[in-house]
Amino acid sequence: MDSKLLRRTLLIVTGLFLQNGVNAQMYVSPNSYVFANNEVVFIKQQLELNAANSNFYLRKDAQLVQGSTSSGANKGLGSLSVFQEGTTNNFQFNYWCSPVGGGDVTAGNAAFGITQLKDIVDLTNSNNSTPLAMNNYDGTASPFAIAPYWIFKLTASSGYSDWVSVGTTSAINAGEGFTMKGTSGTNLTTVNGIENNPGSKQRYDFRGKPNDGTISIPVAVEQFTLTGNPYPSAIDLSAFLTDATNCTGIAYFWEQDKTVDTHYIAEYKGGYGAFSPISRLGSGIYVPATFYSYDGSGNEGGETGTGGAYERRFSPVGQGFMIDGLVNGTVEMKNSYRVFVKEAPLNYSQFERNTSSNKTKTISAYLSDIPSVSGFDYKTVSTVPTPQIRLNTLLNNQGIRQIVLAFAPEATDGVDRAMDAISSSDDSPADVYFVIDDDEYLINTVSFDMDKKIPIGFKNTNQANFKITVKEMLNITAANSVYLHDKATDLYHDIKNDFYDLTLPGGVNNTQFEITFKNNSTLGVEDAAHQSFVVYQDNTTKKLTISNPLLLDLATCNLYDVAGKLIFNKKDLGSNSSYTFSTSGLSDGIYIVKIATKDKIEVGQKIIIRR
């Protein structure tokens, strides 16, 4: 394993001094530096950056990987420098976890503070930031200034968990995540082809003693802890989550509506997406956040939108995320989770950048060889999506809640750690979820059975409307149909080809509805009508054609997007044998055609529009 890593290693070294009598495996002497460009540097044991002017530069996706199995042993007053870009302006949060701490002659990891974030000048030089006063809420890109008012951490211990204001203090321990808003304006200084801030995307220079070794992270039962990747290299998030048995094995990522520029919490729109590893032999499943509004106390209000789809299997440098405790204790971040993976969607590693969740276009069915400390054979990891059905529900014609039904042979119908993802939205006014052991889950992983019935729940403070449909089915051929079964009426609603529109009174309904793969009702008039209609989208002529061979009298023909939002409405169509509608002005995507006859028979069919 070591030789494999070292074969991939490139060091550009000036003044690197290795001497007898020095305990560190790599010792950088005063007035010396190590410069690594676009490569991995592997050190089996500890690093000493001896003096304040002993430096280690990681540039252009270069990463430092260390292999010690003990607690951190790096020491010295010098600094490792690594760049990372945020994705927000001065009004929205990123969740971070620093790869470095303060310089210290004592061996071990040290606390981090935002004064260690620098303004990049060129490849090796950076200027100190200017922390603003606590009553100044807006950081700036030029001159570079950070607003410490927004620096918080969330730590858990037995019986206590709360957001802690950090500000300008160096009080963020290794393995602790922290919140920080971005900066306003632009900074067009360009290094390695990337601007410091082209607008709403501030790049930071993290400088300090690199974190290393085993890091203990406190967790508490049913409480969230903000943590993240604490190293100057990528980590295998799936490996960490499957090993960390004192937490649920699910990581939660904050996303915020970047079109909303405000510091007032009552105007925030955001939420948490959830990542489930499912297995170390796959790429995992990520469910995008549902954006909620908030009141002045931080309680969730109405649904306002949805977040993006991101690749989360490997966490890049600086990435922060939440974990949920199962017991009062600790989980451990270890060097064995460190890997050399460059940040990119195709590498299953993203800080935050949109990409489709559909992996069918992946060239290889397995990951390529990945240098790692553990020696795990990543060529055995499948890039084919975990078999899954993604359900989208439009809540009160506002935000979309996506939930995922996944399939794995080893899964049970109960709660499976590191597979099933519990919802983080306890107090939302309207929501939909899978019901497992009387609790609410965004991801439900089960073994597939054609006769299986999956409980699905709805809750709403007041009367609410839900439009539910199958967004996509990935890597699953055993199920040809998906139904929402209403046990109260014993009706089966096709949600694979259509959406089901239901309005429920205020309350919690965890027993009336279930997902099935069979329609156990007797074939009736509506089913015969459904089979008679032919719905066809011609993307060459940009026209939608509906064939009506039974000459049924049509009351309406509506077109919806896959979220259930109405695109157009045609009324009183009569009993023609066919109808044609233009789709030339519509963007690419999946749409739902919904036909209703004068006899109140409704038929739905999905189409795909491509320009």
Q: Is residue 1 part of a domain?
A: no
Q: Are residues 104 and 177 in the same domain?
A: yes
> Which of the residue ranges 357-361, 373-377, 529-533, 543-547 would you say has the lowest mean pLDDT?
357-361
| Band (97; pLDDT cuts 50, 70, 90) | very high
Nearest-CA neighbor of 40 among 374, 380, 370?
370
> What is the three-state SS of 408-420?
CCCCCCCCCCCCC
Nearest-CA neighbor of 181 among 101, 93, 255, 118?
93
Q: How confident is the model at residue 357, as a pLDDT? A: 43
Percentage of residues in the chain having pLDDT higher than 70: 90
Q: Is residue 34 part of a domain?
A: yes
- Tell whether the model's pLDDT for residue 9 goes beyond 60: no
Q: Is residue 358 part of a domain?
A: no
Q: Are residues 505 and 529 in the same domain?
A: no
Burial class from Cβ neighbours inside 10 Å (0-12, 13-18, 19+) for residue 345 reads: middle
- Tell whether the model's pLDDT for residue 494 goes beyond 70: yes
Q: Read off the CATH number of the domain in which 545 is found.
A: 2.60.40.3080
Give the predicted TM-score (pTM) of the model: 0.89
| Band (157; pLDDT cuts 50, 70, 90) | low
Average pLDDT over residues 415-424: 96
Q: Is residue 40 part of a domain?
A: yes
Average pLDDT over residues 67-74: 92
Burial class from Cβ neighbours inside 10 Å (0-12, 13-18, 19+) for residue 426 reads: exposed
Strand duo 534-538 + 543-547: pairing: antiparallel
Alpha helices (H) in 418-554, listed in sequence order: 525-532
Alpha-carbon distances, residue 63 vs 10, 100, 107, 296, 567 (angstroms): 11, 13, 21, 42, 48
| Band (585; pLDDT cuts 50, 70, 90) | confident
Query: Given 520, 554, 584, which residue is the final one in a domain?
Result: 520
CA atoms within 13 A on the CB side of 501: 13
Average pLDDT over residues 200-216: 96
Q: How confident is the model at residue 589, as a pLDDT? A: 87
Q: Is residue 390 part of a domain?
A: yes
| Band (523; pLDDT cuts 50, 70, 90) | low
Task: Determine contact, residues 69/95, Cβ cutoff 8 Å.
Answer: no
- Tell whether the model's pLDDT for residue 398 goes beyond 50: yes
CA-atom Rg of the chain in angstroms:
27
Q: Report how many domains make up the chain.
A: 3
DSSP conformation letters of 156-180 = EETTEEEEEE-TTSS-B-TT-EEEE
Q: Read off the amino acid at residue 409.
A: P
- Domain range for residue 603? 525-609
Average pLDDT over residues 204-212: 97
Nearest-CA neighbor of 242 among 464, 417, 46?
417
Q: Are residues 115 and 240 in the same domain?
A: yes
Task: Note the pLDDT tens digit of each residue in 237-280.
Answer: 999 999 999 999 999 999 998 888 999 887 888 889 999 999 99
Task: Determine contact, residues 196/119, Cβ cutoff 8 Å.
Answer: yes
- Tell whether the model's pLDDT for residue 481 goes beyond 90: yes
What is the C-alpha end-to-end distance of the chain, expressed in Å?
Answer: 49
Nearest-CA neighbor of 442 among 455, 456, 423?
423
Task: Note the pLDDT tens digit of each residue in 344-360.
Answer: 999 999 998 544 444 44
Q: Are residues 343 and 434 in the same domain?
A: no
Q: Is residue 363 part of a domain?
A: no
> Which of the residue ranges 57-66, 144-153, 520-529 would you say has the lowest mean pLDDT?
520-529
DSSP conformation letters of 354-366 = ---S--TT-SSSB
Q: Are residues 138 and 212 in the same domain?
A: yes
Alpha-carbon distances, residue 172 vs 165, 325, 606 (angstroms): 10, 20, 50
494: Cβ contacts below 8 Å, ≥ 6 apart? 481, 482, 483, 519, 604
Q: What is the mean pLDDT of the chain?
A: 89
Task: Note the pLDDT tens digit of each residue in 12-58.
Answer: 333 333 333 445 689 999 999 999 999 999 999 999 999 999 999 99
Q: Are residues 183 and 55 in the same domain?
A: yes
CA–CA distance, 466 with 502 (Å, rounded to integer): 5
Q: Is residue 304 part of a domain?
A: yes
| Band (363; pLDDT cuts 50, 70, 90) | low
Joined together, the tokens standing for residue 268 give 């925030």
CA–CA distance, 385 with 475 (Å, rounded to integer): 6
What pairs with residue 118 in β-bridges? Answer: 128, 205
Q: Are residues 234 and 275 in the same domain?
A: yes
Task: Determine contact, residues 238/284, Cβ cutoff 8 Å.
Answer: yes
Average pLDDT over residues 170-179: 96
Q: Are residues 313 and 180 in the same domain?
A: yes
Query: Given 520, 547, 580, which residue is the final one in a domain?
Result: 520
Q: How confident is the model at residue 14, as a pLDDT? A: 33
> Which of the residue ranges 88-97, 359-368, 579-588 would you say has the lowest mean pLDDT?
359-368
Q: Are residues 508 and 598 in the same domain?
A: no
Q: How confident is the model at residue 326, as a pLDDT? A: 95
Q: Is residue 12 part of a domain?
A: no
Q: Are residues 472 and 444 in the same domain?
A: yes
Query: Given 492, 520, 548, which residue is the final one in a domain?
Result: 520
Q: How confident is the model at residue 301, as a pLDDT? A: 67
Q: Are residues 193 and 131 in the same domain?
A: yes
CA–CA distance, 41 with 6 (Å, rounded to integer): 8
Angle at the Cα of 174 (from 168 to 175), degrees rounded to 5? 110
- Tell whether the model's pLDDT for residue 430 goes beyond 90: no
**DSSP state, residue 199:** S
Percentage of residues in the chain having pLDDT higher than 90: 71
Nearest-CA neighbor of 63 among 433, 236, 317?
317
| Band (295; pLDDT cuts 50, 70, 90) | low
Task: Determine contact, residues 261/183, Cβ cutoff 8 Å.
Answer: no
Q: Are residues 266 and 339 in the same domain?
A: yes
